[in-house]
Structure 1
Amino acid sequence: MTSIVQISVGAALAWVIAHDLVGHQQPFFAPVAAILVIFAGTGGRRRITVELFIGVSVGVLIGESLISVIGRGWWQLGVIVALAGTAATFLGLRGLARNQAATSASLLAAIVPVMPGNPAVARFVDAVIGGLVGLAMALLIPGNPVRRVNRGMQPVLTTLGQALRRIELALRLEDAGPAWTALQQVRGLQPAIESLTTTVSNADEIARYSPLRWRQRGHVERYVVAVRDVDNAIRDTRVLARRVHTMLRRGEHSFTGMPEAVRLLREAVEVFADDIAEKDAYDEARRQLIEAARMATKALPEAATINDAAVVAQVRSIASDLLYATGWTVAQVDRALATGR
């Protein structure tokens, strides 16, 4: 609902400014630019806005320059769009900005301007107005950044917990099947974690720059700190699942204590998910993570195979990743895992 309000108010306001205040008769770039900037809500709006301005200026410059020489028509439009897209690519523009360069050029070639003066300047000013209005809407009518990032984080942590539960089951039953299922689960998390990363970036921007959301900066910062380390925990869980699957598939046996260590990891993930959502202390999650690492190390048999050692190492790595996600430093994690306290 927030985005609908943002684009409707932003598009109307951009038109009013460009048409009524600046005096442009066809300010279609103003509402278009405002909508594009608002919908570019996956992080880095300032960068996207700058690139959008560059894309518009490239399209306008090439479009108007060629129109003055070759005129308007179907084949001229094709030539203009091709050159604008090529120039944008050469300048390193991508995605939205490159599309906008081609769109700007095509609109200039297809629409006969009715405003007096230089249409290239007018179009560029419209795009600047729209981009600034879009930024203003993102800051003045922001969505809830904490709700947004938590909505992305919780499914990721839930799936991670489910995968650890299956790895625990595989170790208890000495059945490679659940470990293979867990491996597929965590492999499928990569698109979600990439989307979460950009969502966290956008939420951090809103919390830092929107006065209405300043009080949420500390809570959002928790997600900023956590997302990279949660990603690392997912990658290490993928390795753990693969190692457990290989170990059991080859007929090697699980050893006493490892299912319990993985269980503690899973329970810590569940506690961590609640703590980050409610802004609680991470004391219980940290205790369980340290105990999981200690238990895994203690469980390693004297006549350990390569897979045994790898499983223990991955449990310790996942525990470390999640301890980092709680905000602990490298020194704190090393000290905790070395002493077991």
Structure 2
Amino acid sequence: MIRPDFRSTGERFRESIVPALQITVAVTASYAIAHYWLGHAVPLLAVTVTISSLGFVRDARPVRVLESAVGMLIGIVLSESLLLVVGRGIWQIPVVLLIVLLVARVFSASNAFAVAAGVQSMLVLLLPAPVGGPFVRSLDGLVGGLVALLITAILPRDPRRIALHDARALFGAFTDALSLLVGALERGDGSAADRALDRLRGTQPILDAWSASLESARAIARISPFLRRHGPELDAQARVLRGMDLATRNLRVISRRLDFLVRDGVPRPAIAALVASLATSVSLLGQSLDDPRLGDTVRIGLVAVAERLRPDIVAKDAPVTDSVVVLMLRPLLVDLLTAADLPEEKARALLPDV
């Protein structure tokens, strides 16, 4: 029996409110311009182009909106041109569709671009010709695309909230994995190391989602007068993302090493304490996205961990395999320090000689 996920449903509903309002306003504007100003009786394509250009996708960058609008406009203009040459009928449908799809593929490598062009071309070919002569629907499509772009700038969605949501998801997975590794090291628990590795293996989609939502937020902030003031905040988040991307890749490698190492069942409290301190600083780094004042605290904590990364102290009298783990933590610390706004050269200089 399939049980409804009310939490996911509620979250999806909340996330859809702003995009739905944005699309509704844009469609109303497109219809009003095409119908009342241009005098088109049924400006269907103005409405469909607007809806399809904006959509509910996470990537609300103006360039994506423009690409969607251009794809549909190509389909409309090309099919209206072909309609004047070949007319309409059963054999014209495959001919027009094939030409539109191939031309669209020449313009863009995006599959969605070609599909959007093909759908609009079929609407042109199958619907009755509007009053006003050729290319009335092309004008409607142009209106829909321009309105979608304008609305993206003057009534933007709140892309910062989505990017922060994705960032918190990554930091949650990262700190969860660190906590599991602490338990694995403290108890020599192979199952905890397995769970940490599984958690980290699932972080790539989270990183990809954060990257896409943040790129969308920065692009919108550059053109929107209402969000432009948030540019520095988003730039800082981009710096954190770059550092966390590298740190996550490094932690996956370390986790695989520890997954093998703790199979002997031997507790390693010194390394566990080091990783626990690291987890605390990473948690604060995630919180600093909401409260930049934590930045100094994050850097102080990470520097304190970096200064302890000496195998002759942490893994004294331990097997060489333990010393290797301590050395593997050093690049991870550099990545986290750069995420915390420390230049890479200074971060590397903080590491003790070995």
Cα deviation, residue 171, structure 1: 0.9
**3-state SS of the aligned residue for 2:41?**
coil
Letter in 2 for 1:221: D
Cα deviation, residue 288, structure 1: 1.9
Cα deviation, residue 281, structure 1: 3.6
Cα deviation, residue 90, structure 1: 3.1
Letter in 1 for 2:130: V
Match for residue 165 of structure 1 among 173, 179, 188:
179
Task: Establish whether residue 197 from structure 1 lines up as the match of residue 211 from structure 2.
Answer: yes
Task: Establish whether residue 31 from structure 1 lines up as the match of residue 47 from structure 2.
Answer: yes
Tell me, yes or no, if the aligned pair for 2:187 and 2:268 is still in contact at 8 Å. no
RMSD value, Cα: 2.5
Tell me, yes or no, if the aligned pair for 2:79 and 2:100 is still in contact at 8 Å. yes
**3-state SS of the aligned residue for 1:42?**
coil
What is the alpha-carbon distance in structure 1 between the residues aligned to residue 140 and residue 353 of structure 2? 63
Task: Establish whether residue 283 from structure 1 lines up as the match of residue 296 from structure 2.
Answer: yes
What is the alpha-carbon distance in structure 1 between the residues aligned to residue 156 and residue 86 of structure 2? 45
**3-state SS of the aligned residue for 1:261?**
helix
What is the alpha-carbon distance in structure 2 between the residues aligned to residue 136 and residue 45 of structure 1? 12
Match for residue 114 of structure 1 among 130, 136, 139:
130
**3-state SS of the aligned residue for 2:132?**
coil
Letter in 2 for 1:187: R
Task: Establish whether residue 90 from structure 1 lines up as the match of residue 106 from structure 2.
Answer: yes
Letter in 1 for 2:62: R
Cα deviation, residue 248, structure 1: 2.1
Greater Cα offset, 330-339 or 195-204: 330-339
Summarize deviations over 1:288-311 as a string: whole Å, max 9, x none: 222223323242446753x43442
1:12 aligns with 28
Summarize deviations over 1:81-134 as a string: whole Å, max 9, x none: 233223222333414322211111111111121232322xx3333223222211
Match for residue 177 of structure 1 among 170, 191, 196:
191
The count of residues paired between Structure 1 and Structure 2 equals 336
Tell me, yes or no, if the aligned pair for 2:45 and 2:141 is still in contact at 8 Å. yes
Match for residue 314 of structure 2 among 299, 302, 319:
299
What is the alpha-carbon distance in structure 2 between the residues aligned to residue 339 and residue 132 of structure 1? 60
Moved beyond 6 Å, runs of 4+ = none
1:139 aligns with 153
Identify if the C-alpha distance between structure 1 residues 76 and 308 changes in structure 2 by more than 3 Å, giving closer, same or farther: farther
Letter in 1 for 2:180: R
Tell me, yes or no, if the aligned pair for 2:54 and 2:65 is still in contact at 8 Å. no
What is the alpha-carbon distance in structure 2 between the residues aligned to residue 338 and residue 230 of structure 1? 22
What is the alpha-carbon distance in structure 2 between the residues aligned to residue 327 and residue 227 of structure 1? 11
2:256 aligns with 242
Tell me, yes or no, if the aligned pair for 2:185 and 2:269 is still in contact at 8 Å. no
Summarize deviations over 1:190-212 as a string: whole Å, max 9, x none: 11211111111111123232222
What is the alpha-carbon distance in structure 2 between the residues aligned to residue 94 and residue 40 of structure 1? 18
Summarize deviations over 1:220-262 as a string: whole Å, max 9, x none: 222122112212222111111101011223x385655211111
Task: Establish whether residue 50 from structure 1 lines up as the match of residue 66 from structure 2.
Answer: yes
Identify if the C-alpha distance between structure 1 residues 124 and 254 changes in structure 2 by more than 3 Å, giving closer, same or farther: farther
What is the alpha-carbon distance in structure 2 between the residues aligned to residue 317 and residue 54 of structure 1? 45
Identify if the C-alpha distance between structure 1 residues 140 and 50 changes in structure 2 by more than 3 Å, giving closer, same or farther: closer
What is the alpha-carbon distance in structure 2 between the residues aligned to residue 151 and residue 142 of structure 1? 18
Letter in 1 for 2:121: A
Greater Cα offset, 128-137 or 330-339: 330-339
Summarize deviations over 1:28-51 as a string: whole Å, max 9, x none: 222222223322653463322332
Identify if the C-alpha distance between structure 1 residues 92 and 309 changes in structure 2 by more than 3 Å, giving closer, same or farther: farther
Task: Establish whether residue 188 from structure 1 lines up as the match of residue 202 from structure 2.
Answer: yes
Greater Cα offset, 296-305 or 208-217: 296-305
- Which ranges of structure 2 fall in alignment gaps of 5 or more residues? 1-16
**3-state SS of the aligned residue for 2:337?**
helix
Q: TM-score, normalised by structure 1?
A: 0.89
Cα deviation, residue 70, structure 1: 4.0
